[in-house]
């Protein structure tokens, strides 16, 4: 059954997903693509000579080899010196350039935090920080896993924080953030990127977008866990628990109205993110709910175990509860359902196809 046709008979005959047509969600299993970001950045840089890309000794890894090779005058490799990287970006932005800064998310946020705070966020400069390998998608262990980057960037006034779900959104994010005045942090999956959305899909910042409506529980998801949430919603609906899914690409500023709508319409809300539960989507949602005095209980799916290991992403996602079954279980218990939650069937996909673990 797919989200698009939405018509396959629910396994238990109780409920079906209510896909939102405007979201243009493609059928599962999704195709993947590579370098959607680099391609979009080259396009932007070609049209806007004021755009300049900075790297920090991770050029191919951040898809900026495309800019380096095609528009060498709009690319500068700052080397492995992330504090200086952010200072140089600030200087370029003060001189009127629109600066895209690239490295792994962990090195874009932890090492140069004070420089980002003082030289980019505070003066509200046009610097777009692009951090690759979010959360546990890095096999490099705790030193390489950006599990707190959203928390760090959300702590900075003036910073827009975006974590997109697929290649279609990646491409649109580049143009949107370039147009948006001021500093942004964009969190990107490295390597193969799934294509969840079709051509009619429109990313907006900071608006959240409903993918499925009418559920008993709403799953609010960001980044890599959007695909996971979609799959979880299918599993849950098949098991008789209708679920709404809200795609929340912008973590700061959070779409307060959408969060409150989710709380109003649901018996419980579940957040799902490839990030520590503290400081990311789950916390942003908690803040909105608590200030509104909403009594809707919240379950947060995210990393709760501190520091992980150096292992493959699928292994880590399962081990740390970022998989489809973890979202299913959270929604199941949040909805007050008894008994064991349903489990997702393991879907083997060919290469070039994406299935969340």
Partner 1 sequence: MQTSQILQTRADRADRAGRTDGGNARTAQTVRKGGPMADQRPAVLRDGTRPAPAGIAGPGARPPTTDPGELAATARRIRRHAVEMVAIAGMGYLGQATTSAEVFAVLYRAVLRHGVDRLVLSPGHYVITHYAAAVEAGLLDERALATYGVDGSWLESISTERTPLVSATCGALGQGLSVGAGLALADALADAERRTFVFGSDGEMEEGQTWEAAMFAAHHRLGRLTALFDCNGSQVDGPVATVTTIEPVADKWRSFGWTVHEVDGHDVGAVLAALHPPPGDGRPSVVLARTRMLHGLGSLGDGRDAHFVTLGPGDVERALEDTEPVGPR
Please report, as ranges, the residues that interact with its own copies according to CB under 8 A. 107, 110-111, 113-114, 117-118, 122, 142-143, 148, 151-152, 154-158, 268, 276, 278-279, 282-283, 285-287, 289-300, 305-307
Compute the distance between CA of residue 42 and CA of residue 342 in angstroms, rounded to an integer.
44
**Binding status of residue 192 toward partner 1 by CB under 8 A:** no
**Binding status of residue 102 toward ligand TPP by CB under 6 A:** no
- Considering only residues 199 through 218, tell me which ones interact with partner 1, judged by CB under 8 A: 206
Partner from partner 1, its own copies, ligand TPP, none binding residue 61, C-beta < 5-8 Å depending on class:
partner 1
Compute the distance between CA of residue 145 and CA of residue 156 in angstroms, rounded to an integer.
20
What is the smallest separation between the CB atom of 340 and partner 1, expressed in angstroms? 18
Token pair 């004021």: residue:
50
The DSSP secondary structure of 208-235, one letter per residue, reads -EEEE-S-SEEEEE-TTHHHHHHHHHHH
- Considering only residues 164 through 183, tell me which ones interact with partner 1, judged by CB under 8 A: 181-182
Query: What residues contact residue 198 under an 8 Å CB cut-off, 6+ apart?
Result: 24, 25, 26, 168
Which residues pair with residue 337 across a beta bridge?
Answer: none
Structure token digits, residue 266: 């649901």
What is the smallest separation between the CB atom of 104 and ligand TPP, expressed in angstroms? 6
What is the smallest separation between the CB atom of 195 and ligand TPP, expressed in angstroms? 28
- 288 contacts 254 by C-beta, under 8 angstroms: yes
- 172 contacts 202 by C-beta, under 8 angstroms: yes
Nearer to ligand TPP, 19 or 131 (CB): 131
Compute the distance between CA of residue 152 and CA of residue 301 in angstroms, rounded to an integer.
19
- 57 contacts 84 by C-beta, under 8 angstroms: no
Nearer to its own copies, 143 or 343 (CB): 143
Nearer to its own copies, 257 or 287 (CB): 287
- Considering only residues 69 through 98, tell me which ones interact with ligand TPP, judged by CB under 6 A: 80
Q: What is the DSSP letter of 19?
A: B
Nearer to ligand TPP, 133 or 328 (CB): 133
**Binding status of residue 136 toward partner 1 by CB under 8 A:** no
Nearer to its own copies, 227 or 259 (CB): 259
What is the smallest separation between the CB atom of 135 and ligand TPP, expressed in angstroms? 17
Query: What residues contact residue 282 under an 8 Å CB cut-off, 6+ apart?
Result: 271, 273, 298, 300, 301, 302
Pairing state between β 268-276 and 217-221: parallel
The tally of CA atoms less than 13 A away on the side-chain side of residue 282 is: 20
**Binding status of residue 297 toward partner 1 by CB under 8 A:** no
**Binding status of residue 31 toward partner 1 by CB under 8 A:** no
Partner from ligand TPP, partner 1, its own copies, none binding residue 108, C-beta < 5-8 Å depending on class:
none
Nearer to its own copies, 70 or 291 (CB): 291
Nearer to its own copies, 92 or 108 (CB): 108
Stretch of residues binding partner 1 (CB under 8 A), selected from 4-12, 25-33, 113-121, 187-195: 113-121
Nearer to ligand TPP, 7 or 80 (CB): 80
Candidate list 43, 50, 57, 192; residue touching ligand TPP; CB under 6 A: 57
The DSSP secondary structure of 30-79, one letter per residue, reads EEEES-HHHHHHHHHHHH-TTEEEEESS-TGGGTTHHHHHH-GGGEEE--
- 141 contacts 312 by C-beta, under 8 angstroms: no
What is the smallest separation between the CB atom of 109 and ligand TPP, expressed in angstroms? 11
Which residues pair with residue 73 across a beta bridge?
Answer: none
Nearer to partner 1, 111 or 187 (CB): 111
Structure token digits, residue 174: 């580049």
- Show the beta-strand stretches assigned E in 113-205: 127-132, 160-163, 184-188, 193-195
**Binding status of residue 265 toward partner 1 by CB under 8 A:** no
**Binding status of residue 299 toward partner 1 by CB under 8 A:** no
């Amino acid at each position: 059954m797919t989200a698009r046709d939405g018509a396959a008979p629910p396994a238990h005959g109780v409920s079906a997903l209510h896909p939102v047509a405007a979201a243009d969600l493609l059928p599962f299993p999704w195709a993947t693509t590579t370098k959607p970001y680099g391609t979009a950045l080259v396009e932007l840089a070609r049209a806007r000579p004021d755009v300049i890309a900075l790297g920090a000794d991770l050029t191919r890894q951040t898809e900026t080899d495309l800019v380096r090779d095609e528009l060498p005058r709009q690319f500068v490799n700052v080397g492995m010196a992330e504090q200086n990287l952010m200072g140089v970006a600030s200087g370029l932005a003060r001189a009127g350039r629109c600066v895209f800064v690239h490295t792994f998310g962990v090195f874009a946020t932890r090492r140069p935090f004070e420089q980002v705070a003082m030289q980019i966020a505070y003066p509200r400069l046009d610097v777009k920080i692009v951090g690759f390998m979010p959360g546990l998608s890095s096999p490099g262990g705790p030193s390489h896993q950006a599990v707190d980057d959203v928390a760090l960037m959300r702590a900075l006034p003036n910073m827009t924080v975006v974590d997109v779900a697929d290649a279609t959104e990646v491409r649109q994010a580049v143009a949107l953030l370039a147009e948006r005045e001021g500093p942004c942090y964009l969190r990107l999956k490295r390597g193969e990127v799934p294509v969840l959305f079709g051509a009619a899909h429109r990313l907006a910042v900071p608006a959240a977008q409903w993918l499925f409506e009418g559920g008993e529980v709403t799953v609010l998801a960001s980044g890599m866990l959007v695909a996971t949430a979609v799959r979880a919603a299918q599993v849950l609906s098949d098991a008789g628990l209708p679920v709404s899914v809200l795609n929340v690409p912008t973590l700061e500023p959070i779409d307060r109205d959408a969060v409150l709508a989710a709380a109003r319409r649901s018996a419980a809300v579940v957040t799902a993110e490839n990030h520590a539960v503290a400081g990311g989507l789950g916390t942003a949602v908690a803040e909105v709910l608590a200030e509104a005095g909403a009594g809707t209980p919240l379950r947060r799916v995210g990393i709760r175990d501190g520091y992980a290991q150096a292992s493959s992403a699928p292994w880590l996602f399962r081990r740390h509860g970022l998989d489809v079954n973890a979202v299913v279980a959270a929604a199941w218990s949040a909805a007050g359902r008894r008994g064991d939650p349903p489990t997702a069937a393991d879907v083997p996909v060919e290469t070039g196809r994406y299935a969340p673990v």
